Structure 1
Amino acid sequence: MAQLRYKALVDAYAADIRSGRLPAGTRLPTHRELAAKNGLALVTATRVYAELAAMGLVSGETGRGTFVREISLAPRQGIDQFALAAGMVDLNFNYPALPGQTDLLRAALRQLAASGDLESLLRYQPHGGRQHERAAVARHLACRGLDVGWERVSLVNGAQAGLAATVMALLRPGDVVAVDALTYPGFKVLADTFGLELAPIPAAAQGPDLDALERLCKNRRVKAVYVMPTMHNPLGWVMSAHRRKQLASIARRHGLLIIEDAAYAFLVDKPPVPLAALAPEATVYVSGLSKNVATGLRVGFIVAPSESMRAIEQAVRATTWNTPGVMTAIACAWLDDGTVKRLETEKRRDAKVRQAIAGDVLAGLGCVRHPASYFVWLPLSEDVRADQVAAALMREHISVSTAEPYATSHHVPHAVRLALGSVELDVLRASLKKVRQVIGNYAY
């Protein structure tokens, strides 16, 4: 009989939520209230809410209760949904482009067509890339404070593929990886795919709480730590040189593998040296050309300790075999002739202009941001729910991300992440004004 009441209660709540009789944001009875009202055991009432949560209809918030979710918003907004309807303004994903980049590609293709090495591009390439291409990447990284030989460089199909190859090569299912409490969603997807356990580290001033990381390593068998020390996504911090040395020291004491994600590092002018330069024996450095050049140019690179290179190249072989020869030839030519360096300089300038617009329009809202980044983290007040804001903006044809894709702890803050790099400047200003207006409408 209790089983029938339990199932009927789940079905009744689901029907009321889907029909709109229980609108988004409605606070549901506590577990004890639900049990008492319906003659259920407390554990059964908890199971009711767990099943509704699994259906994506409610969310539990520590210290606040259980709330009806905004179901018109796609699940895990910001990672699963990429295709946008016509006329939708994309403040969700960053694919920054500059005027004239199409002409650069056209010229590069003409130059490649006139070269005498075309036939070689039709064949399989070495798994880690050809020596002269790896050397081009090494020269590029030397300008970022990372001086390595070509032998420690492996080419991959973008930074995400680099992270995947690193995980496949150097970690195993069940390994514990320390990550920021808010981190890059792509690494969360990898952890889920490869069976890693993510252990969240709270944020401190301009970086992860290293004392918390130290305590975690003493209490758990942590295998690796995934970090974005230079232009953290989504919070925009840049770790100081001192804190980087502290992190390298912790890694050595506890035998941690450091996975350093530098996808947005190019936006910081004269940053501290990478962790891979401070702890080369313990760090895998991953970056690419998606953000600083173009998202369609799927060329990335890994710098790893010499003893890890064979395993990483084996992972590349098992997945993509090698990077496409034509793409890599264009990318490395642009590295060598200064095109990438020029684009990085122009995009730093572009990002600063966009941040200035965001600072003007969103003034007073407590934004967390770096003055040269392509994103803004916008915490919401206690009486404003992120899923409602995101759904309301979707109805205004503006796509944003909530905190859910970035959160690695049980507590998911009410916040939205605004990507600034994918729309024209006048559209950006108008869209940010609409964001401010919608947030104001939900503030009680």
Structure 2
Amino acid sequence: MKYSKLVETLAARIKAGEIRPGTRLKTHRAFAEEHGVALATATRVYNTLKQRGLIVGEGGRGMFVRQPEVPPTLGIEQPEEAPGIDLVFNMPGDPGDGEVLRAGLRGLAGRGDLNALLRYQPHGGVLAERRVIANYLSPRLGKIEPERLFITSGAQHGLSVVAFGLLKRGDGIATDPLTYPGFRAVVGLRDLELHPVPGQLGSMDPLALLRVCAKTRLRALYLMPSVHNPLGTVMDEYSRRAIVAIARHHDLLIFEDGAYDFLETDPPPSFLELAPERTVYIGGVSKVLATGLRLGYVVVPPDLAGALSMAIRATTWNTPALITALVTQWIEDGTIGHFEQTRRAAGARAQAICRACLGHHDFSAHRNAGFAWVPLPGRLRAEEVVARLANRGIAVSTAKPYAVGPTTPNALRLAFGGLNDALLRSSLTTISTVLDMA
């Protein structure tokens, strides 16, 4: 069949690099005329290549060859016939985001000061751009002076400069029994010591923290109080104030990770607002915008500003000028607010699908989050479930990357970002079936 031969020939040329990534393909009509096939056949060929993740369509511009080093499961548009469905990494995104980026870059191109983006930047960022970000964060975090805010190359880089700039080898850090794997990676590189503190309702228990402080020398706390990853919980105000009192009594820094706090529309007061003299707030835009746009920020007490600036200088020298200009432009014109609303709506829709498909299975999640935590009954082992799902083309995570301490909960972490509703529903239905069969 000519259709199949055309598909395989084009696929082989793309994979071999004969047709370079970013190449614009001929229109459907031109392709049909060149190969002597019907227009409908040309459309089928392109649709099949798109489903395989080899090409991508851009509204009003045509079809383009996709970068082959970026697996389809790491892209925004999850192919219907992908060889594997990725429910491990949370990748927010929408098919129309590329056009928003295109418009944003056009806006930057029209600026009169493009040469400034080609030069070295201040280590913590240009003060005017720091002020834009500070004003953007202040409504939910309390007043932030721009001099206390430092721009980083993503929130993960923010965690790194905090660890290398504000801590020393062997420092003890209290954290939840389940915590962000990226922070655990930084802790390992810096040779720090994590001390898990038991919690209640998914948040650190102040009384348990007191007991840890009584027997362990700590330097800091690491918390995700608003939309915990992986549990999706939000710490109540009473617990926050109690933890602040303990931190003050024991002179502890509080590292507040706010990667997902935009998902909670009515949060309690932040630690940054409750204890600005000892709170280091770390956040970023990748969960709001896209994982490829690496821009983060760290807010520190004034007496730590110098140390943090030196850590940024030692790691990246200065802020990512082009991305910072793009993000601050989007803050000022309201684009980032639109993205926040879109991500919350997408998360709420995913949670509704999750409830429909996994309703008879216990799981924990925030109402607007693109991930869920699924504890498993004793008869099921997480590793076995992961293997069975892998055989069905679905990748999920166990609790191991998140667990601090000697015990690992028997659970799965599911991430929904990057999947359309139909594919998410199909994947969760398969997961529910596997759980029921075991």
Work out whether residues 159 and 286 of structure 1, in 8 Å CA contact, stay in contact via their aligned partners in 2. yes
Within the alignment, does 1:196 sit opposite 2:180 as a pair? no
Count of matched residue pairs: 362
The residue correspondences of 1:33-432 to structure 2 (distance < 5 A) are: 87-432=83-428
Cα deviation, residue 203, structure 1: 2.1
**SS of aligned partner of 1:271:** coil
Work out whether residues 372 and 414 of structure 2, in 8 Å CA contact, stay in contact via their aligned partners in 1. yes
**SS of aligned partner of 2:330:** helix
CA–CA separation in structure 2 for the residues paired with 1:160 and 1:251: 24
**SS of aligned partner of 1:405:** helix
**SS of aligned partner of 1:382:** coil
CA–CA separation in structure 2 for the residues paired with 1:373 and 1:273: 20
Cα deviation, residue 303, structure 1: 0.5
CA–CA separation in structure 2 for the residues paired with 1:352 and 1:119: 42
C-alpha deviations, 1:184-237, integer Å up to 9, x for none? 000111111110111011221241121111111111111111000000000111
Q: Identity, % of aligned pairs?
A: 44
C-alpha deviations, 1:35-75, integer Å up to 9, x for none? xxxxxxxxxxxxxxxxxxxxxxxxxxxxxxxxxxxxxxxxx
| Higher deviation after alignment, 177-186 or 321-330 | 321-330
Which segments of 5 or more consecutive residues in structure 1 lack a partner in the other structure?
1-80
CA–CA separation in structure 1 for the residues paired with 2:163 and 2:330: 29
CA–CA separation in structure 1 for the residues paired with 2:374 and 2:196: 20
Work out whether residues 152 and 320 of structure 2, in 8 Å CA contact, stay in contact via their aligned partners in 1. no
**SS of aligned partner of 2:318:** coil
| Higher deviation after alignment, 181-190 or 200-209 | 200-209
Aligned AA (1:265): D
Cα deviation, residue 335, structure 1: 1.1
Cα deviation, residue 145, structure 1: 3.1
Cα deviation, residue 146, structure 1: 2.3
Aligned AA (1:156): T
Work out whether residues 345 and 368 of structure 2, in 8 Å CA contact, stay in contact via their aligned partners in 1. yes
Cα deviation, residue 247, structure 1: 1.1
Shift >3 Å, 4+ stretches: 81-86
CA–CA separation in structure 2 for the residues paired with 1:284 and 1:439: 41
CA–CA separation in structure 2 for the residues paired with 1:281 and 1:117: 37
CA–CA separation in structure 2 for the residues paired with 1:302 and 1:397: 39
Cα deviation, residue 86, structure 1: 5.0
Aligned AA (1:175): D
- In structure 1, the residue matched to 2:56 is none
CA RMSD of aligned residues (A): 1.6
- In structure 2, the residue matched to 1:13 is none
Normalized against structure 1, the TM-score is what?
Answer: 0.80
Work out whether residues 96 and 422 of structure 1, in 8 Å CA contact, stay in contact via their aligned partners in 2. yes
Aligned AA (1:272): P
C-alpha deviations, 1:230-271, integer Å up to 9, x for none? 000001110111211111111101111100000000001121
Normalized against structure 2, the TM-score is what?
Answer: 0.81
Work out whether residues 260 and 286 of structure 1, in 8 Å CA contact, stay in contact via their aligned partners in 2. yes
Work out whether residues 178 and 403 of structure 2, in 8 Å CA contact, stay in contact via their aligned partners in 1. yes
Cα deviation, residue 347, structure 1: 1.1
Aligned AA (2:100): L
**SS of aligned partner of 1:258:** strand
- In structure 2, the residue matched to 1:435 is 431
Q: Provide closer, same or farther for how the CA distance between residues 330 and 82 of structure 1 changes in structure 2, counting only shifts above 3 A.
A: closer
CA–CA separation in structure 1 for the residues paired with 2:82 and 2:369: 27
**SS of aligned partner of 2:400:** coil
C-alpha deviations, 1:304-356, integer Å up to 9, x for none? 00010110110000001122211110011111111111110121111111001
Work out whether residues 93 and 422 of structure 1, in 8 Å CA contact, stay in contact via their aligned partners in 2. no
| Higher deviation after alignment, 344-353 or 203-212 | 203-212
